[in-house]
Structure 1
Amino acid sequence: MPSTPVTVCAIVAAGLLVLAADGGPPFPAFQSEVDGLVTLVGRTGGFTVDPRDGQGPKAGYAVATGRATARIEPADRFFDGGGPAALRAYLEDKAEQLRDDPALLVGAWYDRPGRRVVLSLVELVPDRTDAISAGVAHRQRSIYDLATGAEVPTGYTGQR
């Protein structure tokens, strides 16, 4: 009798958390979208997505959680075929943090002048003032307004 993979699901406050009990990749909704997300980064400059359902929030402010949870990918490698693998590896590396904190999202930002793509864990903050404060606390020069599609400078200058 052939074995069938088993997927264990648990309901959490933020929605459905899918744990691959068969050793499969974490967060299949996100995994199925990686090719499109790489294209989105190149076209629009980035994304913020909930890996649990593969959807991007439409309002609030995306604030990266800081350098300790970020990963830098060279843009040429990311866009020349390595992007899907980089996203999958980042998601696998951060899966435990994402499971432990259902408020965390995954983001990517294309630093065109620096020719790099920054992958980050992201907090969604509803209030602009609170988001700017969180950005400064996480040493971020800007945050992203999801409703307007605009970067918002935090005033952080890199001096601390």
Structure 2
Amino acid sequence: MTMTLIDWSARISAMTDALSVPDGGFSVDPSDGSDVRTGYAVAVHPEHEHIFDGHVTSNDLHEYIARAKGALTLPGRVLGGWCDPDSGRVYLDVSVVTADLSEAMTLARETAQVAIFDFSVMASVPVAVAA
């Protein structure tokens, strides 16, 4: 399904709202704007991670998407956003979603991530230190 510009504007507004609450966020398939609902989301492009010290606007999201467009068009990539409940910082990133927790933790450690997102419990999971 292809989204219109109006659909994307509404979608970006909803994503902005999701980032306004602690541990709020989203993982969105950039090809059609649908929510990712299963697996573990891991930010895998640290070069595209952008951290805000507080509130994120729709304009901030538009600008981020434009800057990360190249990575977002790669196969299997999703647009991710998360509001860290401890710091209040908002993270925007390009993620992959995997069904395997061990793989997600390995990818997260390789890219120095603080947390992954587990869709089965709809919560962030701190990255475990390798044994």
Task: Give the TM-score normalised by structure 2.
Answer: 0.84
Asked if 1:59 is matched to 2:38, the reply is yes
Letter in 1 for 2:14: G
How many residues align? The count is 128
Distance in structure 2 (CA, Å) of the matches to 1:68 and 1:133: 18
Structure 1 segments (4+ residues) deviating >3 Å: 27-32
Letter in 1 for 2:71: Q
Does the CA contact (< 8 Å) of 1:34 and 1:87 recur in 2?
yes
Distance 1:66 1:114, change over 3 A: farther
The correspondence for 1:50, drawn from 29, 34, 45, is 29
Partner of 2:68: 94
Letter in 1 for 2:84: D
Task: Give the number of the structure with larger relative contact order, counting CA–CA contacts within 8 Å between residues 6 or more apart.
Answer: 2
Q: Which runs of 5+ in 2 are unaligned?
A: none
How large is the Cα RMSD of the aligned pairs? 2.3
Does the CA contact (< 8 Å) of 1:108 and 1:119 recur in 2?
yes
Percent identical among aligned pairs is 25
Does the CA contact (< 8 Å) of 2:71 and 2:94 recur in 1?
no
Does the CA contact (< 8 Å) of 2:51 and 2:90 recur in 1?
yes
Q: Which runs of 5+ in 1 are unaligned?
A: 1-14, 19-26
Distance in structure 2 (CA, Å) of the matches to 1:149 and 1:84: 23
